[in-house]
Amino acid sequence: MADIYGFDAFSPKQIAEKVDNIGVTKARLPLLSMVMLGVLAGAFIGLGALYFVLIKSDANLGFGTSQMLGGLAFSLGLLLVVVAGAELFTGNNLLAMAWADNKITTTELLRNWLVVACSNFIGAAGLAVLVYVSGHTELNHGVIAERYLQIAQAKCSLPFWTAFFRGVLCNILVCMAIWMAMAGRSVVDKAVAIVFPISAFVAAGFEHSIANMFFIPLAMCIKAFSGTAAATATDAVGWLGFIGNLIPVILGNLVGGSVLVGLVYYVIYLRKPVLPSDKT
């Protein structure tokens, strides 16, 4: 008899076990593999962000329509990560499940997060440089460059706690997208599971640390090498603004993905009940 999750979808309990076991594999990847997969993930998310900006640069679209379509376009990034294979810091916040289950050590957990986050930055910022030198931002008579500057200015100007809580909400949805993608067996299953949570966080204006590693460096390139009035008006866009955005957003992403998704599902599905005999 087919269960309530369909003929071939994994149940939430099975997903929890998969995430737990995959977390062990991810934490123990060889360093070179981890770095290369992290660079790919940063570039993949950057490509999704690039697609988003193309949509947002169309002045004929209303706010809601452009946010929704831009969110759908941004989903390309996580689709590439999940289907093509890559290591994404925000998704790897789910390694907290394997850590809570005592399958990986604190050192292994922090090593993965640090190496993958730094590698994601190399991939995202490296793509930003390539996109700039390609002349892509000059399309539509420079409107795309102006949009990048506007996006980066808004991100670099966010108050600490606003950026933090937007980071929390973002990574709840990102990790739920990855969680639900684990339920599917086909590429179509995974795509359907990913598109709605990812488009929702983008449409809502939440903050994704790795996407910001693409948006802000590209805006910094435009500002540094462009003499337009728009470039000179973006006072907050710079290294201080970049770091000021990344710190609260990374912390928020960690809380949203590790605590509010990973550890919550660990308690629900994997935590061993404490028996009376265990207390004696």
**Local mean pLDDT, 10-residue blocks, the chain (280 residues):** 59 94 97 98 98 93 92 97 97 97 97 98 98 94 94 96 98 97 92 96 97 97 77 79 97 98 95 63
Query: Structure tokens of 23?
Result: 């977390």
The pLDDT of residue 279: 54
The pLDDT of residue 2: 44
DSSP single-letter state for residue 24: H
Q: How far apart are CA 148 and CA 164, in angstroms?
A: 21
Going from the N-terminus, what domains does the chain have, and what CATH number goes with each? 12-271 (1.20.1080.10)
Answer left, alpha or beta for residue 6, where phi above 0 means left and psi between -120 and 50 means alpha.
left
The pLDDT of residue 9: 81
Which candidate, 141, 134, 36, 145, places its Cα nearest to that of 87?
Answer: 36
The pLDDT of residue 7: 56
The pLDDT of residue 1: 39
Q: How far apart are the first and last CA of the chain?
A: 43
